[in-house]
Amino acid sequence: MLARNFKCMLLLSAAFSGASVAMPAVAQESVMAPGEIIVTARRVEERLQDVPISMTVYNEDQLQDRNVAVASDLATYTPSLSVNTRYGPEKATFAIRGFNQDAAAAPTVGVYFADVVGVRAQGGTASGNSVGAGSFTDLQNVQVLKGPQGTLFGRNTTGGSILLVPTKPSDFLEGYVEGTYGNYDQKRVQAAVNVPLADTFKVRVAVDRNKRDGYMKNHSGIGPDDYNNVDYTYGRLSIVADLTPELENYTIFHYSESDTNGYATRYESCDRDAASPFVGGSLTRYYTALAACDQIDRQTARGDGPLDVEVANPDPRIYLRTWQVINTTTWQASDMITIKNILSYGEYREQAGFSLYSDNFFVPNTPTTQYFASQGGLAPGDRFQYITLDTQPGYDAAAESTTTEELQIQGRTLDGKFNFVIGGYLEFSRPIGWNQQRTGIYGNCADPGTLDCSGGIIPVTLPAGAIPGIPIALGGSAALISQSRTKMSFDNHGIFAQGTYNFTDQLALTLGGRWTFDKIVGYSESSRYTLGTFPLVGTIPLQQVCNDVLNHPTDNPLADGQGVCNTKITQKTNKPTWLIGLDFKPTLDTLVYAKYARGYRQGAVNFTNPGLETVGPEKVDSYEIGAKLTFRGPAPGYFNIAAFYNDFSDQQIFG
């Protein structure tokens, strides 16, 4: 992304230290200028080069230089970090070292803001990191930790953790305003001001407004002209109150609101030899395969490039609103003991409407489709959608609140040879309301959320007399409507301890353990029905059945919210995780380490596949060796290298 940044410093009140470059922490590492980079990868402040973890760190200037605005931008520059933006850049889900997140599973990479995990979101699709668009503004640094971090971090970090560390209020009156103008008409303004109201009371405010046109151009003539745009507003208020010389209270409130067209993809291949239903082929596959081929042919005829798409969605939207308040109280009980309490509450809401496969399909013109048209089906050239999702009016696609509480005791003993962290963690996520979406499948639906559909590619017959006053049978066409209506509650608790014993100034052993207890309670009243369109009659529901056919094999719900299709699924899991590490520093500037860690990802509940309602936990044993070297003198820099091996057990894979 090309961009120009213009920054105005209101007051510069700190000396500059050595500049640094983000450090990739796998395979071979790029050289960077020296500087004491402080990280919190082990929940205490340490020098980057002293931490036996493969990691990449970015400071605020590096984030600005790379124009990192949303979470998905981070993966562009970080080795071993990949991102899935299928549902939009603001809902990006992360994968580190190949640990992926599927829609029905818990994440494999935990995203933390100010030591607190992002607000949990549970909807019909993977709901991303949920820390909120704009959270990358006014940060002290971003730390990408690779490999299982399940001992010291609270939730599902088999792949790793991403730590966003906001700039803390300081003792100086200072601030800045920065403007960015980039291609695709990007306009971004960031500002921050720090005000010490008293020696013991400091306030910092940061804001970020970012708007950019999408870079994927839509050629369907329906809906927006572009996709993958950016449009968010973000604000943060931070307050530090030194209650006593030994007692500090640090409170953060941050709010994010994003409203975009979402993301789009393009078709690259299709089955041009799909079998007709008259010779044993699938009718729906026949229609969709040939329609996809027609779309590819139109792309080729226009000379489309990789950023050209053709999506026939009249009103796509991904709307996300996230807010969170975090309170951290730190008590320096003695020179050897520090007690820290971290309490948070946040809410996440989402509205979503999008075409799952970014299609602009028309009924192909073949003898097969002509026959079904003669029986009342859609005619060749009529438009239909493959799979289109929309939030039902009055509901959210996802709405969840999360409360967390963590108590840490950090200490040093045995003349400073033994450093430790022990603590406990509680997390409660509760639904704010029903998550309700409707999905139109194989139909001509302007808005499946309001059942604004007219026919589909499935041939149906309305029996004679089914409608009063119509004594003859009518042929017509139908679409399938799937109504997802769910609520989810999550309880996650854990106790943990980790300590490092320094045998000498050069040799240290780290042992850590955690026991995590997880509970999921899911409620579903989901159903699906056939929506038929007939001459003289119009569009009417033909049949409605519950998705859970095992518990509700014969129920035929007549209205939403009647509880006819109610299903409750509970899943409880608990597992220990641990870490064993050995560190050796032959010189002050060289660290060699080896470690073994057990990672754990909690189980899941599944409403879409009757008979497979629960999914067990996933485990991974990770083995890693690495080295970190610091170069001083006329050509200073860092060089880090790591190698790892992961051994999975009961891996969660969703088809």
CB 71 within 8 A of CB 129: yes
CB 624 within 8 A of CB 641: no
Total residues found in the chain within this entry: 655
- Does residue 288 carry a pLDDT above 90? yes
CB 378 within 8 A of CB 477: yes
Q: What residues form DSSP beta bridges with 93?
A: 84
Q: What residues form DSSP beta bridges with 325?
A: 253, 345
CB 634 within 8 A of CB 83: no
Q: Which of 631, 649, 653, 652 is nearest to 640 (CA)?
A: 631
Contacts for 65 with CB less than 8 Å, ≥ 6 apart: none
Sequence ranges of the domains in the chain: 3-11+21-264+316-354+395-434+488-523+570-649
Q: Which amino acid is at 109?
A: V
Between 21-30, 197-206, 474-483, 536-545, the lowest mean confidence (pLDDT) is in 21-30
Q: Which amino acid is at 51?
A: V
DSSP letter, residue 277: G
- Confidence grade of residue 22 (pLDDT, cut at 50, 70, 90): very low
- Does residue 457 carry a pLDDT above 60? yes
Based on its alpha-carbon atoms, the radius of gyration of the chain, rounded to whole angstroms, reads 28
Cα–Cα distance between 444 and 452 in angstroms, integer?
Answer: 9
E strands, 465-589, are 474-502, 507-524, 527-534, 538-546, 567-587
pLDDT at 208: 97
pLDDT at 376: 84
How many other CB atoms are found less than 10 A from the CB of residue 643?
12
Percent helix, strand and coil across the chain, each to the nearest 5 = 10, 55, 40
What separation in angstroms does the CA of 589 have from each of 39, 564, 627? 17, 67, 11
- Does residue 37 carry a pLDDT above 90? no
| Phi-psi category of residue 129: left, alpha or beta, with phi > 0 → left and psi -120 to 50 → alpha | alpha
pLDDT at 70: 75
Helix or strand (DSSP H, E) at 295: helix 283-302
How many other CB atoms are found less than 10 A from the CB of residue 413?
12
Q: Give domain 3-11+21-264+316-354+395-434+488-523+570-649's CATH superfamily.
A: TonB-dependent receptor, beta-barrel domain (2.40.170.20)
pLDDT at 568: 87
- Does residue 15 carry a pLDDT above 70? no
Q: For the segment 169-194, what is each residue's pLDDT rounded down to a tens digit? A: 999 999 999 999 999 999 999 999 99
What is the three-state SS of 73-120? HHCCCCCCEEEECCCCHHHCEEEECCECCCCCCCCCEEEEECCEECCC
What is the three-state SS of 367-407? HHHHHHHHCCCCCCCCEECCEEEEECCCCECEEEEEEEEEE
CB 149 within 8 A of CB 160: yes
Sign (positive or negative) of CA dihedral 97, 423, 168, 136: positive
pLDDT at 653: 67
pLDDT at 420: 96
Between 72-81, 145-154, 292-301, 603-612, the lowest mean confidence (pLDDT) is in 603-612
Contacts for 558 with CB less than 8 Å, ≥ 6 apart: 544, 564
Q: Which of 616, 614, 460, 613 is nearest to 547 (CA)?
A: 613
- Does residue 34 carry a pLDDT above 60? no
Between CA 78 and CA 392, with CA 235 as vertex, the angle to 5 degrees is: 85
pLDDT at 466: 79
For the segment 22-36, the average pLDDT, to the nearest whole number, is 42
Helix or strand (DSSP H, E) at 638: strand 637-649
DSSP letter, residue 72: H
- Does residue 32 carry a pLDDT above 50? no
User: What percentage of the chain exceeds 90 in pLDDT?
Assistant: 53
CB 494 within 8 A of CB 524: no
Cα 532–chain centre separation: 36
The most confident of the ranges 18-27, 203-212, 593-602 is: 203-212
- Confidence grade of residue 483 (pLDDT, cut at 50, 70, 90): confident
Cβ-based burial of 396 (10 A; exposed 0-12, middle 13-18, buried ≥19)? buried
- Does residue 480 carry a pLDDT above 70? yes
- Does residue 559 carry a pLDDT above 70? no
- Confidence grade of residue 550 (pLDDT, cut at 50, 70, 90): low
Q: For the segment 410-456, what is each residue's pLDDT rounded down to a tens digit? A: 999 999 899 999 999 999 999 998 888 888 999 888 788 888 888 88
pLDDT at 128: 59
Structure tokens at 437: 């979406």
Q: For the segment 303-345, what is each residue's pLDDT rounded down to a tens digit? A: 999 999 999 999 999 999 999 999 999 999 999 999 999 999 9
Cα–Cα distance between 104 and 602 in angstroms, integer?
Answer: 12
- Confidence grade of residue 102 (pLDDT, cut at 50, 70, 90): low
pLDDT at 278: 93
Q: For the segment 493-542, what is each residue's pLDDT rounded down to a tens digit? A: 999 999 999 999 999 999 999 999 999 999 888 888 888 888 888 888 88
Structure tokens at 485: 């209506």
Structure tokens at 596: 């073994």
- Confidence grade of residue 371 (pLDDT, cut at 50, 70, 90): very high
What is the three-state SS of 301-370? HHCCCCCEECCCCCCCEEEEEEEEEEEEEEEECCCCEEEEEEEEEEEEEEEEEEECCCCCEECCCCHHHH
Contacts for 350 with CB less than 8 Å, ≥ 6 apart: 121, 123, 127, 318, 319, 320, 321, 396, 397, 398, 399
What separation in angstroms does the CA of 303 have from each of 214, 310, 360? 20, 13, 17
- Does residue 556 carry a pLDDT above 80? no
Regarding predicted confidence, which is higher, 361 or 600? 361
- Does residue 7 carry a pLDDT above 60? no
Between 359-368, 423-432, 483-492, the lowest mean confidence (pLDDT) is in 483-492
How many other CB atoms are found less than 10 A from the CB of residue 546?
23
Q: What is the mean pLDDT of the chain?
A: 86
Regarding predicted confidence, which is higher, 604 or 381? 381
pLDDT at 652: 72
How many other CB atoms are found less than 10 A from the CB of residue 588?
11
How many other CB atoms are found less than 10 A from the CB of residue 521?
17
User: What percentage of the chain exceeds 70 in pLDDT?
Assistant: 88
| Predicted structure pTM score | 0.88
pLDDT at 126: 54
Cα–Cα distance between 204 and 478 in angstroms, integer?
Answer: 57
What separation in angstroms does the CA of 640 have from each of 50, 63, 304, 635? 11, 21, 42, 16
Q: Within 13 Å and on the Cβ side, how many CA atoms surround 247? A: 2
Q: For the segment 220-264, what is each residue's pLDDT rounded down to a tens digit? A: 999 999 999 999 999 999 999 999 999 999 999 999 999 999 989
Cα–Cα distance between 391 and 389 in angstroms, integer?
Answer: 7
